[in-house]
Amino acid sequence: SQTIHQWPATLVQPVGSPLSLECTVEGTSNPNLYWYRQAAGRGLQLLFYSVGIGQISSEVPQNLSASRPQDRQFILSSKKLLLSDSGFYLCAWSAVLANEQYFGPGTRLTVT
Amino acid sequence: KQEVTQIPAALSVPEGENLVLNCSFTDSAIYNLQWFRQDPGKGLTSLLLIQSSQREQTSGRLNASLDKSSGRSTLYIAASQPGDSATYLCAPETGANNLFFGTGTRLTVIP
């Protein structure tokens, strides 16, 4: 069966510090991968999605970036965090040619 | 751009009641619509997925309907239980696996 992992589970970082959140998927090959953010009081917003290694599409301009160095690894990064980057970050995957998305447990990021 | 509204924002019901959660979306050109539940501080669990050609989907005590042309979906929960307490999110997909989420309905089922 497929599983999706995210770490860390929680993170507190000062403004201006770098960020690296990792997501890995097991039990499937060549998945589509997604990063979402859920800010306080707001709906989930798609940040990035990837259909293959090195292929990243950005949905929202911001100071975040994403990379996919391996087939089942998706990384969300920032060089300098802003207060507005605080939120709950969720990674998701879907099978190629399938619609249903499956979400990871999330990372709670607080920028202070 | 797709906008999703969920009403009510919060709902509190006694155990055993049947209830309906509403979702409306502005762009009816969707491929499908998913309903998720989110427990506090947790990721999302997919409940039901309705293809754009379908009118409804059922899973256990859950039934989701879709009226694509009017931009509406409902999630019906029968015989609610305290374990159903969570936030319920609907998410229509408008191409490229791009899901748009509402802010959800926070459900509390009182024992």
**Shortest distance, CA B17 to any CA of chain A (angstroms):** 27
CB-based contact A101 B34, cutoff 8 Å: yes
Name the one residue in this structure whose structure tokens are 């239980």: B81
pLDDT of residue A58: 87
pLDDT band at A69 (very low <50, low <70, confident <90, very high): very high
**Shortest distance, CA A17 to any CA of chain B (angstroms):** 24
pLDDT of residue B104: 93
Q: What is the pLDDT of residues B77-111, one digit of tens each?
A: 999 999 999 999 999 988 766 788 888 999 999 99
Q: What is the CA radius of gyration of chain A?
A: 13
Chain A residues with CB-CB distance to B89 below 8 A: 43-44
Q: Which of A101, A102, A107 to mutate to test the interface with B (most CBs of B within 10 A)?
A: A101
B101 in contact with chain A, both atoms CB, cutoff 8 A? yes
pLDDT of residue B66: 97
pLDDT of residue B16: 97
In whole angstroms, give the CA distance from residue B104 to residue B57: 19
Helical ranges in chain B per DSSP H = none
pLDDT band at A22 (very low <50, low <70, confident <90, very high): very high
Tell me the two tokens of residue B98.
Answer: 């791009």
pLDDT of residue B96: 63
Q: What is the pLDDT of residues B18-59, one digit of tens each?
A: 999 999 999 999 989 999 999 887 888 989 999 999 999 999
For residues A42 and B10, the model is more confident at B10
**Shortest distance, CA A16 to any CA of chain B (angstroms):** 25
A43 in contact with chain B, both atoms CB, cutoff 8 A? yes
Residue A41 has pLDDT above 80, yes or no: no
Alpha-carbon distance values, A28 to A36, A67, B1, B23, B25 (Å): 20, 19, 32, 32, 32
Share of chain A above pLDDT 70, in %: 99
Closest chain A residue by Cα to residue B97 = A99
Average pLDDT, chain B: 92
CB-based contact A90 B101, cutoff 8 Å: no
Average pLDDT, chain A: 91
CB A100 within 8 A of CB A3: no
CB-based contact A103 B44, cutoff 8 Å: yes
